[in-house]
Structure 1
Amino acid sequence: MLGNVFASGISPLFGLIMQEFHCTENEASQLGTYVLLTLGLGALAGGLIEALTPTILAETFSGHHLAKAMVVYVGFLAVGAALGPIISGAIAKCLGEWRWLNRVMSITVTVNLVFNILMLPETTRDGISLHEGAVLGGQNEDKLPSKTECKAEENKIENVMSTAKTISSAEQVMLKREYVRRSFSLHFVELNWKAFLISFFQPLKLIVLPQVLVTVIVFGLTIGWTVIASILISLIYTQPPLIWDPLSIGLLNTGSLVGIIIGLPIGGALADMLFNRATRRSNGVTSPVTRLPALLPGALLSPAGCIVMGFALRDPDNYIVVCVGWGMLCFGLTGPANVLLTYAIDCLPTRAAHIGALANVTKNSIGFAVSYGTVDWFRKMGPVGQFFTMAGILWGSYLLVIPLWVLRRMLERFGARFE
């Protein structure tokens, strides 16, 4: 989330940067590319976190709640991209210096790192049970004590309570020891450097799986189109005759924030509801593909948002319509994109980290590529032509989901080879 706040927060500052460095709008727009490049260099940390989170969720939550847990992860990534411009605009207006965004983000990332070290223990299961204490109740419940046995029973109860206190204290010590072992030791780390290169390229094998390929394409395109919208909106509203200040430009992201929030129950609760209902009807037989119908609303609305934005940007004074279109586009981040990510991870839960790594690489690569040529593309085709093309490409990527549903049996057998 914080990485996306930093990356997306650059766009509202284009006006201040152009004034200070006397650069063109095209050069300023490429700052988003340079920021993505720095994120690539910092992927040893940030990219690792984004790749590991799906694994942590798959280990922590059961399949019946996986989509709801995953949508929180995707939602925070998307909310970071929406809040970034608002935060940077407020910082620039209140402090009058665009560099303060970097300073504030550095402090925030440091605090976040400390809390992660203290509050995020290892989630890998090693078969150790933390609650193997004796059963204190449930024995001889059929016998009712007589009056002559009351005193003896009272003594037994006192003994049981003292035993429970002893076991409770022992459990607390055991939990503390387990917390330290899982948080501050190398017990779960395999330092096998010989397998480093193999592990580095291992996720790439999954790209041949249609479940993973379609997921990373839709996820990457939705992120890429969001980057394009952020850059173009910032440049259009910075230039004359509008000349909006950074905070006003940042507040345009309210539309995208609303779309992201609306998509949360669709990509999370609705997807899990469909999965659980199908599981009950099939007598407990689970099938990840049963979540896919939940992406239908987003598959229609998200590309349509590009069309709405294209027409609205012909007359930028219609900023309300721009916000509506942007919200429709960003609805696809937490709606259909999360459904596909949950579906892919549920198909291959043991390869969740690899799927997360592929999704991370794809979205950053597409964002890097489109941000570099966004302004030239806009000048050649205009807002309507550019955003219509974006909508067509995004709709085309959603059509790739149909074979996932039709060929689900064959794909399940094919995916089992990669477990």
Structure 2
Amino acid sequence: MPLGILEDYHLEHVPGTAPLEMIESAGIPEAGLADSLGLKYDPTGKIILVPQPSDDPNDPLNWPRWRKEMFIIATIWGTACVGAIGPLLVAAYVQLAQEWNVSLSKFASGTNGGLIVCLAGATVLTNVLAVKFGKRPIYLVTGVGLVLTVFWGSAAKSFGSFIASRALAGFCMAPMEGLVPASIADLWYVHERGLRTAMFNLAFMAGVSLGPLIAGQLIEHYSWRVCSYAMAGALVVNLLLTFFFMPETAFDRPEVVRIDVVNLETKALGKVHLEQVERSAGYPASKTSLETNNNIRGHVQASDRSSRFARKSFWNELDFWSGYNRPISFWKTLLGPLQIARSPIVLWTSIVFMTAITWIVILTIGASQIFVAPPYSFSVAAVGNTFLSPFLASIAGTLVAKPLIDGTVKFLAKRNHGIFEPEFRLPAMACYLLFTATGFFSAGQSLGSGMAWELPVILSLSFINFGVVLTVTVAITYTVDCHREQAAEAVSVMVLIKNMFAFGSTYYINDWIASSGVRNVFFALGGITAGMALSAIPVYVSALSHYYVEH
């Protein structure tokens, strides 16, 4: 029983299980087996790289550090922009509903409903195209689409035209929500993904929080159209960053000994059963251990080390399409999310992801309704300012993500004799209970009682965002760890489920707050959050990754 996780006696290999840290014990004669198998380590020489990179310099895992970091910076900007588009005008919803002569509920559902439902559908389609033809063409085409649709919405003369522009913008937002986690998996090793995924989440949360804050000031001093044009300008910058710094990350990696799909039944890398590695490498079980060791070593070295590759130039990587064309059926891939949706891992993480992000959507949609009304009577700019403390909390959550999530993984893997289990991501779910649930309960009580705004805005909303950032990071990294080969499909299912739920929330949240009161609404959200956080316990113990095998 590895650290409280029920042992699996049925699967030859548990998806996602891999050695993460080598055993530093000179007393184990077999401790050098990893070197004899040709496994590669990080610069410290202590952490085995998962997945194992090829020797091709064009392998995204082998890109120069500056190239990887610039890719992340470009995605951070793009994700922040996409995060800002949805709630961009929330600070002025009450005033804009009056300007368009529609009810607040109709304005909120129209402004966000079409956007979210198109985003949900596009997530599946763009995922299929990306799996088949690579991610770069998808990023570029939708980047152009975002610029055009936001400029259109800025100049719209009717409510119907404005809503149509928002719907098409939602379609073009999909890659920056659904494909970035898969791109992170293309570029970074398991022990590095926690921080980068947290940065992706922070970028999205920054857009959600800072977007309305900046927009509130622009709308207050200029107009909502000026605010929207500014958003379009930010998207032009996003398109330039995408073109220059987001080359193709899809890569056909030659087959090497893949330690994340090799059966490791022992508790230390130095005691790997050679017969098990032998079967994974395709050798008959009758060979002796020594022969197996030699053959595997030769297999690794011959796989792709026998040839050398020319590094593509910076300018060659700027081609619209790299020529990547995965030999799979488009229609079969289109149905791929249906298959991956059967995974209990994806179902559970989708619900966690759905609740966490939808809570932020609900807060942004309800902000104007809550704070414009007495006893607060905030101006448009003041409503926007309420998003500052949640944004700062999101930054704090991102800074904590690496030592908390990646650090916990390394610590538990070391305690587990060097073997990494995907469930080692889950202890950080405690933050969903300690911070997000607590934040909802305190916000409901303080807002419902008309307490001073400092308590709900500075403390409660910050608690909510802090917990959400860490929880979303856990959900995405846990999913990608378990389904690395189908990361794009798995994340697309998560985003699809989240968006459909968020779409429904746009139709009822304003009326729910009006009829039940903010206290009852926030207490209900806090209770659901607590339940989801506690559900991580049986997921950890039962180890859902043991009950789904990728095909």
Give the TM-score range, shorter chain.
0.7 to 0.9
* 1:262 has 2:341 as partner: no
Mark the CA change 1:232 to 1:90 in structure 2 (over 3 Å): closer, same or farther.
Answer: same
What is the alpha-carbon distance in structure 2 between the residues aligned to residue 347 and residue 79 of structure 1? 28
Alignment of 1:365-384 (within 5 A): 365-384=500-519
Partners of 1:274 and 1:242 lie apart in 2 by 42
Task: Out of 86-95 and 42-51, give the one that drifted further.
Answer: 42-51
Which protein shows a greater Rg?
1
Q: Which residue of the partner structure matches residue 365 of structure 2?
A: 231
Runs of 4+ aligned residues of structure 1 deviating over 6 Å after TM superposition are none
Query: Matched residues in 1 for 2:375 and 2:545: separation?
Result: 56
Q: 2:353 aligns with which of 213, 219, 231?
A: 219
Structure-2 separation of matches of 1:197 and 1:378: 43
Task: Check whether the contact 1:222–1:329 (CA below 8 A) recurs between aligned residues.
Answer: no
The reply to whether residue 329 of structure 1 matches residue 408 of structure 2 is no
* Aligned residues of 1:221 and 1:363 also touching (Cα < 8 A): yes
Equivalent position of 2:29 in the other structure: none
In structure 2, the residue matched to 1:84 is: 211
Kept after mapping to 1: 8 A contact 2:178/2:491: yes
Match status 1:252 vs 2:386: yes
Q: What does residue 387 of structure 1 align with?
A: 522
- Equivalent residue in structure 2 for 1:18, among 93, 97, 101: 97
CA contact (8 A) 2:195 2:402 kept: yes
- The Cα shift of 1:5 comes to 0.5
Q: Which residue of 2 aligns with 1:139?
A: none
Q: Report what 1:412 is aligned to.
A: 545
Q: Distance in 2 between matches of 1:265 and 1:295?
A: 16
Report the alpha carbon displacement of residue 92 of structure 1 after superposing the two structures with TM: 0.5
| Distance in 2 separating the partners of 1:286 and 1:413 | 13
Q: Secondary structure at the match of 1:91?
A: helix
Match of 2:427 in 1: 293
Does residue 343 (structure 1) correspond to residue 474 (structure 2)? The answer is: no
Residue 448 of structure 2: aligned partner: 314
Assess, with a 3 A threshold, how the Cα gap between structure 1 residues 21 and 242 changes in structure 2: closer, same or farther. Answer: farther
Deviation of 1:382 after TM superposition, in Å, equals 1.4
> Cα gap change, 1:404/1:28 in structure 2, threshold over 3 Å: closer, same or farther?
same
Quick check: 1:353 aligned with 2:485? no
Q: CA RMSD in A?
A: 2.5
TM-aligned CA deviation for residue 121 of structure 1:
1.1
Give, in whole Å, the separation in 1 of the partners of 2:320 and 2:239: 17
Aligned amino acid, residue 15 of structure 1: V
Q: Is the 8 A contact 2:115 2:171 kept in 1?
A: no
| Contact 1:18 1:25 (8 Å CA) reproduced | yes
Q: Distance in 1 between matches of 2:114 and 2:480?
A: 31
CA contact (8 A) 2:429 2:533 kept: no
SS of 1:335's partner is: helix
Which residue of structure 2 lines up, in the alignment, with residue 143 of structure 1? none
1:114-171 Cα distance to aligned partner (Å, 9 max, x none): 221111111234459xxxxxxxxxxxxxxxxxxxxxxxxxxxxxxxxxxxxxxxxxx9
- The answer (yes or no) to whether the contact 2:440–2:460 under 8 Å persists in 1 is yes
* Contact kept in structure 1, 2:119 and 2:172, CA below 8 Å: no
Question: When the two structures are superposed, what TM-score results if normalisation uses the length of structure 1?
Answer: 0.81
Taking only the aligned residue pairs, the percentage that are identical comes to 23
Residue 33 of structure 1 corresponds to which residue in structure 2? 113
* Equivalent residue for 1:114, pick from 240, 244, 264: 240
Residue matched to 1:280: 414
Greater shift in the superposed pair: 28-37 or 255-264: 28-37
For residue 61 of structure 1, what is the amino acid of its counterpart?
A: W
Q: Does 1:57 align with 2:192?
A: no
Cα drift, residue 178 of structure 1? 3.9
| 1:275 Cα deviation after fit | 1.0
Structure 2 counterpart of 1:182: 317
Which residue identity lines up with residue 253 of structure 1 in the other structure? F
Letter in 1 for 2:550: F
SS of residue in 1 equivalent to 2:420 = coil
Count of aligned residue pairs for this structure pair: 370
Matched with 2:81 is 2
| Alpha-carbon distance, 1:204 to partner | 2.6
Once the two structures are TM-superposed, the CA of residue 62 in structure 1 deviates from its matched residue by 1.0
User: For residues 296 and 63 of structure 1, what CA distance do their matches in structure 2 show?
Assistant: 21
Shift of 1:249: 0.4
- Counterpart residue number, 2:172: 45
CA distance in structure 2 between the partners assigned to 1:204 and 1:79 by the alignment: 32
Distance 1:54 1:28, change over 3 A: same
Deviates more, 1:18-27 or 1:398-407: 18-27
- What CA distance in whole angstroms lies between the structure 1 residues aligned with 2:441 and 2:376? 22
* Preserved contact between residue 5 and residue 84 of structure 1 (Cα < 8 Å): yes
Tell me the distance in 1 between the aligned counterparts of 2:332 and 2:316: 28
Contact 1:14/1:238 (CA < 8 Å) preserved in 2? no
In structure 2, relative to structure 1, the CA distance for the partners of 1:127 and 1:412 (3 Å cut) is closer
- SS in structure 2 of the partner of residue 186 of structure 1: coil
1:46, distance to aligned residue in structure 2 (A): 2.0
Residues 7 and 84 in structure 1, CA contact (< 8 A), matched pair in contact too: no
Alpha-carbon distance in structure 1 between the residues aligned to 2:536 and 2:391: 26
CA distance in 2, matches of 1:212, 1:335: 18
CA distance in 2, matches of 1:44, 1:181: 29
- Do 2:112 and 2:506's aligned partners in 1 also have CA atoms closer than 8 Å? yes
Amino acid at match of 1:99: R
Shift of 1:80: 1.0
- In the TM superposition, residue 360 of structure 1 has moved relative to its aligned partner by 1.8
Cα separation, 2, equivalents of 1:20 and 1:240: 21
TM-score, length-normalised on structure 2?
0.63
Q: Which has the higher helix share?
A: 1
> Which amino acid is 1:26 matched to?
S
- 1:334, 1:295 → 2: CA distance? 11
Question: What is the CA distance between 1:37 and its match in structure 2?
Answer: 4.5
